[in-house]
Structure 1
Amino acid sequence: MIASDRSLCCQGLVTMQDRRRLFRIRSYLGARITYDRGQFSVDCLVRNQSPDGALVILSAAVMLPDEIDLFVLRTRTTRHARIVWRRGDRAGLAFSRDPLPDGVISLDRARRRCASPPDDPDPIAG
């Protein structure tokens, strides 16, 4: 038997219509939001994520621009994102799919390049 949306909502399993294209994975990851070319940063918590976006929790008092970079401490990865919505201490992010301009590399790639042995000609290739 398939439960209706109404019965799931009444049981607390569905709280609102989910418009995401991809399923998000629950998480509890410390992260840092940076903006203005890294001049400013705000600590936050990533509560769920997918390849397309994430839900972050941060201080409700923090003002942020529309576009930010999200650096996840555990994975040491940075994603450029747009803030899609904000309610209190929660914000929904949509990750950018735009390629970086010529000559610009991601922070992740720069860190890997700096951490690689000097005799490795291209630590990123392969």
Structure 2
Amino acid sequence: MKRMIAALIVAGALVSLPACGNDDTNTETATRTSNTAESTTVQISSVTSTADLGMIDQAKLAAFVVAFRTAYADLSQDRDDESIQEIVFSSCNAIADGATEQEVTKEIRDLAANDGTEATQSQAEQIYKLVTPACP
């Protein structure tokens, strides 16, 4: 749990870094950040078409990936970020469609499974708690 909190703090710090520096640097950084965010939104839109996922906060999505990798090394080993982000996308879609926490948690167990390693019920419940803040 401490590792997960530390990962979220680090992710938050990384997101706030562009706010530091002089005005010229901030303008340059803001432009790059804006371009990156637009690019990421386009990529997300092309990955899944089942919901308006452009509404998902990119910082929260990145924080989820960091927290997931930190807390669940066995479930994240040899997975790319998109595979881990799919847990958020699918879960948010299910929540938006009215699925219960139990139904979403069951889906999370399936999505979090990796190379023969399955998430426990307890892990799936913790992952659900990480996912919900990222949902619009």
TM over 0.5: no
TM-score (norm 2): 0.29
Q: Radius of gyration: which is bigger?
A: 1
Higher relative contact order (CA 8 A, sep 6+): 2
Please state which structure has a larger fraction of its residues in strand: 1
TM-score (norm 1): 0.31
